[in-house]
């Protein structure tokens, strides 16, 4: 999900199953209304999909998971998002995307408990072939209006996290120790670890929680354990331990009362049915009652969940949260990771309830102001010394390739087109892998620095240099990568050099491209080896994988850059390089440029239509230079250094 203020799309629903009235508020303004029936929204559900290993206390007779999430989600989407509401949602989505804002779909369903029990997280847009909650650019939250004000921000560091893991002897054991250890190490490894304190509640009793909350300030509570919802009593329950190590049920009202008027910003209930509520009152669940008592955000499971899925969810959720993402992005990433782990149902279990406006729950306060002018002078001196040390380190012969400065005069932007570059220093890396077309892996030495284009060449930049428009729709779309054949890319470079009056621009060699894409990494992707994180860094998917918000080309630079400041090196469009296609050498090489002749050129990096494997740093594909102009092929350029 891109950075920037969140754009909101609000959906209010009221009425009865025979006829619901829905009102929508779009972004940045505008409204629409419509009607639908419950029968039109629910095509059926499977009441007992799983039966083993769940974090529950009773037989799974009412799991509530759709038999086919795609069919269910499409029916719900088409029932609600039709006519004016559908058009308003689409215009809001396009507007938010153009402004680089995430779009938050806020469901206001408190007046229709029978509807808020439905798994809206499976909303499926059949036209785009995607679940809204998996796009990374649209988040779905249950927005509950309460009389309690949202606590002021920011919080004073450090951020305090309390993990609660009851282990009652009379109930099935869970993988809680592994979950606790992962949360602890993830937060401690993060670069802001000195601003985070994490603790495991011992003993894991309700009385001990009461005492610990009184002894300090806590910002995050994470519960690992068993939970259930009693239909007859219409009450959610969490299981703590008693003094003898046996299970001790604590209902929603008791648990939420303990957190009333505290500074807790987020509660994560990694237990079954923490988000479930009764048919007569939308606030009878544990999560909903916490929101009513003043907690700004709660993540909970809306149905029973397997221990394996709960553990996997926690790992992915906290890893992204520790990187500084908002609660919305962290949850979307965890859902996507669950889906990619061959789970086609449980990814929809986590639900986000909130009354917070932007998902920035943990904006840590800046350091306190120092009263003394001498203190400020000392700080400025220390900063100056630090800059000098960094510069000395950067000039060291052992320095790595990350010795570029964004505004370096050695890599100025191409003024006629505003193409920007990053300076890449010489170095060594292992090119290729043991995969078929990337074999054999071999050592490559780059002996000369070069300036690599920070972004793919866009349609606007093409028109600034060439006559005509390359966009396949025949309409200008300035920020999209130029869809080009190799011949197109070569013609662009030659024309650009003619304008300059010297040969300083070219396509990168295949070795330069992979060296830049890896950015010092040795893993399949520049960010690691986990493909579930790919939607954060690139527009890359196929029919078997979830989307990332862009069914086709994405505007350049909408995803995270690699460690060397280069965008879209994974996916979006395959990028042409200078080399003819041929087999890799079997031994070390220096500044390779590929075969002297050939019939096919090389494309690198994968496109929006490619699988995750084809978006790896080492992925390559041969194609004729005149390969048809397609919206999944493009290029970036290199500026040589004299």
pLDDT tens column, 49-62: 333 345 544 433 33
Q: Which region among 150-154, 423-427, 567-571 has the lowest average model confidence (pLDDT)?
A: 150-154
Domain span holding position 334 = 159-354
Does residue 304 share a domain with residue 430? no
Q: Which region among 1-15, 181-195, 303-317, 424-438 has the lowest average model confidence (pLDDT)?
A: 181-195
- Regarding predicted confidence, which is higher, 638 or 346? 638
Q: Which region among 26-40, 41-55, 310-324 has the lowest average model confidence (pLDDT)?
A: 41-55
Does residue 634 share a domain with residue 560? yes
Does residue 450 share a domain with residue 549? yes
The reported pLDDT for the residue numbered 241 is: 94
pLDDT tens column, 444-495: 999 999 999 999 999 989 988 986 655 544 444 678 999 999 999 999 999 9
Q: Which region among 341-345, 513-517, 591-595 has the lowest average model confidence (pLDDT)?
A: 341-345
The reported pLDDT for the residue numbered 58 is: 43
pLDDT tens column, 222-238: 999 999 988 777 889 99
Q: Is residue 291 part of a domain?
A: yes
Q: Are the C-beta atoms of residues 623 and 600 closer than 8 Å to each other?
A: yes
CA distances from 603 to 46, 84, 521, 600 (A): 46, 43, 21, 10
Q: Which region among 147-161, 425-439, 503-517 has the lowest average model confidence (pLDDT)?
A: 147-161
Q: Tokens representing 463?
A: 């028109």
Does residue 464 share a domain with residue 322? no
Does residue 430 share a domain with residue 336? no
Q: Is residue 70 part of a domain?
A: no
DSSP reduced 3-state for 90: helix
Sign, CA torsion 124/129/134/136? negative
Mean pLDDT of 542-565: 75
SS (H, E, C) 413-476: CECCCCECEEEECCEEEEECCCCHHHCCCEEEEECCCEEEECCCCEHHHHHHHCCCCCCCCCCC
Mean pLDDT of 578-593: 94
> Which position has the token pair 């084809």?
614
Q: Does the pLDDT at position 48 exceed 70?
A: no
The reported pLDDT for the residue numbered 523 is: 94
pTM for the whole structure: 0.56
Mean pLDDT of 391-401: 34
Q: Which run of H or of E encompasses 289?
A: helix 286-292
Q: Is residue 220 part of a domain?
A: yes
Does residue 437 share a domain with residue 331? no
Q: Is residue 436 part of a domain?
A: yes
Give the integer Cα–Cα distance in Å for 408 and 402.
13
CATH number of the domain where residue 507 is located: 3.90.1580.10
142 — pLDDT class (breaks 50, 70, 90): very high
Q: Does the pLDDT at position 65 exceed 70?
A: no
Does residue 333 share a domain with residue 415? no
Range with the largest mean pLDDT of 46-50, 63-67, 470-474:
63-67
Q: Are the C-beta atoms of residues 640 and 506 closer than 8 Å to each other?
A: yes
pLDDT tens column, 284-299: 899 999 998 889 899 9
The reported pLDDT for the residue numbered 470 is: 56
Q: What angle do CA 551, 554, 556 make, to 5 degrees?
A: 170
The reported pLDDT for the residue numbered 196 is: 78
Does residue 435 share a domain with residue 307? no
The reported pLDDT for the residue numbered 428 is: 96
The reported pLDDT for the residue numbered 435 is: 85
Give the integer Cα–Cα distance in Å for 631 and 472.
7
Number of domains in the chain: 2
Domain endpoint, select from 338, 354, 370: 354
Q: What is the CA radius of gyration of the chain?
A: 27
Q: Does the pLDDT at position 396 exceed 70?
A: no
The reported pLDDT for the residue numbered 395 is: 33
CA distances from 608 to 114, 304, 471, 524, 552 (A): 39, 35, 16, 18, 6
pLDDT tens column, 253-277: 999 999 887 889 899 999 988 889 8
Q: Is residue 117 part of a domain?
A: no
CA distances from 321 to 162, 334, 569 (A): 16, 10, 24
The reported pLDDT for the residue numbered 162 is: 94
The reported pLDDT for the residue numbered 401 is: 34
The reported pLDDT for the residue numbered 99 is: 87
CATH number of the domain where residue 343 is located: 3.40.50.1460
The reported pLDDT for the residue numbered 377 is: 57
The reported pLDDT for the residue numbered 417 is: 83
Q: Which run of H or of E encompasses 344?
A: none
597 — pLDDT class (breaks 50, 70, 90): very high
Does residue 490 share a domain with residue 343? no
Give the integer Cα–Cα distance in Å for 574 and 556.
13
Q: Is residue 251 part of a domain?
A: yes
Does residue 288 share a domain with residue 187? yes
Q: Is residue 447 part of a domain?
A: yes
Q: Are the C-beta atoms of residues 252 and 284 closer than 8 Å to each other?
A: yes
Mean pLDDT of 80-97: 92
The reported pLDDT for the residue numbered 261 is: 78
The reported pLDDT for the residue numbered 149 is: 57
Q: Which region among 206-215, 319-328, 404-413, 631-640 has the lowest average model confidence (pLDDT)?
A: 404-413
Does residue 432 share a domain with residue 337? no
Q: Does the pLDDT at position 388 exceed 60?
A: no
Q: Is residue 508 part of a domain?
A: yes
The pairing of beta strand 138-143 with beta strand 130-131: unpaired
Does residue 480 share a domain with residue 350? no
Give the integer Cα–Cα distance in Å for 20 and 112.
9
Q: Does the pLDDT at position 367 exceed 70?
A: no
pLDDT tens column, 171-220: 888 888 888 888 888 887 764 445 678 999 999 999 999 999 988 889 99
Q: Tokens representing 24?
A: 């929508």
Domain endpoint, select from 354, 369, 391: 354
Tell me the average pLDDT of the chain: 82
Mean pLDDT of 117-134: 90
Mean pLDDT of 328-350: 83
Q: Which region among 357-361, 385-389, 522-526 has the lowest average model confidence (pLDDT)?
A: 385-389
Total Cβ atoms within 10 A of residue 541: 24
């Amino acid at each position: 999900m891109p950075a920037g203020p969140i754009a909101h799309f609000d959906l209010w629903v009221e009425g009865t199953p025979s006829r619901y009235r829905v009102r929508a508020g779009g972004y940045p303004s505008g409204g629409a209304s419509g009607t639908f029936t419950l029968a039109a929204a629910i095509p059926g559900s499977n009441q007992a999909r799983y039966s083993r290993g769940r974090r529950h206390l009773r037989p799974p007779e009412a799991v509530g998971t759709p038999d086919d999430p795609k069919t269910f989600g499409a029916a719900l989407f088409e029932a609600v998002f039709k006519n004016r509401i559908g058009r308003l949602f689409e215009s809001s989505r396009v507007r938010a995307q153009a402004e680089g804002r995430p779009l938050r779909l806020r469901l206001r369903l408190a007046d229709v408990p029978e509807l808020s029990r439905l798994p809206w997280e499976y909303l499926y847009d059949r036209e785009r072939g995607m679940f809204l909650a998996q796009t990374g650019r649209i988040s779905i939250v249950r927005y509950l209006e309460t009389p309690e004000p949202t606590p002021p921000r920011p919080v004073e560091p450090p951020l305090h996290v309390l993990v609660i893991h009851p282990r009652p002897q009379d109930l099935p054991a869970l993988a809680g120790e592994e979950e606790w250890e992962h949360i602890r190490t993830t937060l401690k490894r993060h670069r802001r670890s000195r601003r985070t304190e994490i603790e495991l509640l011992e003993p894991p009793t309700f009385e001990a929680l009461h005492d610990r909350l009184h002894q300090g300030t806590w910002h995050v509570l994470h519960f690992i354990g068993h939970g259930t919802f009693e239909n007859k009593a219409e009450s959610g329950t969490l299981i703590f331990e008693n003094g003898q190590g046996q299970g001790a049920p604590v209902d929603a009202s008791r648990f939420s009362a303990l957190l009333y008027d505290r500074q807790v910003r987020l509660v994560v209930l990694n237990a079954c049915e923490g988000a479930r509520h009764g048919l007569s009152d939308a606030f009878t669940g544990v999560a909903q009652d916490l929101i009513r008592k003043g907690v700004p955000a709660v993540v909970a499971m809306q149905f029973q969940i397997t221990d394996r899925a709960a553990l996997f969810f926690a790992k992915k959720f906290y890893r992204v949260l520790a990187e500084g993402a908002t609660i919305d992005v962290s949850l979307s990433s965890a859902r996507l990771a669950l889906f990619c782990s061959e789970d086609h149902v449980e990814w929809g279990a986590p639900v986000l309830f909130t009354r917070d406006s932007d998902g920035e729950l943990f904006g840590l306060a800046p350091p306190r102001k120092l009263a003394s002018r001498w203190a400020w002078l000392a700080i400025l001196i220390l900063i100056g010394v630090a800059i000098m040390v960094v510069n000395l380190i950067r000039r060291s012969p052992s320095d790595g390739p990350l010795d570029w400065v964004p505004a370096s005069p050695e890599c100025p932007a191409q003024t006629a087109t505003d193409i920007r570059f990053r300076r890449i220093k010489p170095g060594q890396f292992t090119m290729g892998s043991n995969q078929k077309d990337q074999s054999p892996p071999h050592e490559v030495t780059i002996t000369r620095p070069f300036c690599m284009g920070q972004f793919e060449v866009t349609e606007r930049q093409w028109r600034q240099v060439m006559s005509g428009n390359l966009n396949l729709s025949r309409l200008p779309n300035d920020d999209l990568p130029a869809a080009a054949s190799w011949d197109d890319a070569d013609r662009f470079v030659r024309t650009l050099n003619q304008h300059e009056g010297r040969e300083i621009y070219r396509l990168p060699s295949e070795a330069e491209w992979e060296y830049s894409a890896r950015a010092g990494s040795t893993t399949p992707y520049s960010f690691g080896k986990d493909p579930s994180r790919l939607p954060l860094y690139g527009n890359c998917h196929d029919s078997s994988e979830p989307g990332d918000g862009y069914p086709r080309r994405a505007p350049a630079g909408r995803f995270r850059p690699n460690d060397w400041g280069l965008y879209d090196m994974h996916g979006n469009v395959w990028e042409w390089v200078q080399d003819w296609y041929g087999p890799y050498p079997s031994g070390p090489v220096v500044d390779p440029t590929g075969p002297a002749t050939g019939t096919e050129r090389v494309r690198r990096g994968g496109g929006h239509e490619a699988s995750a494997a084809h978006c790896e740093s080492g992925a390559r594909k041969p194609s004729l230079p005149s390969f048809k102009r397609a919206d999944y092929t493009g290029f970036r350029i290199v500026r040589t250094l004299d």
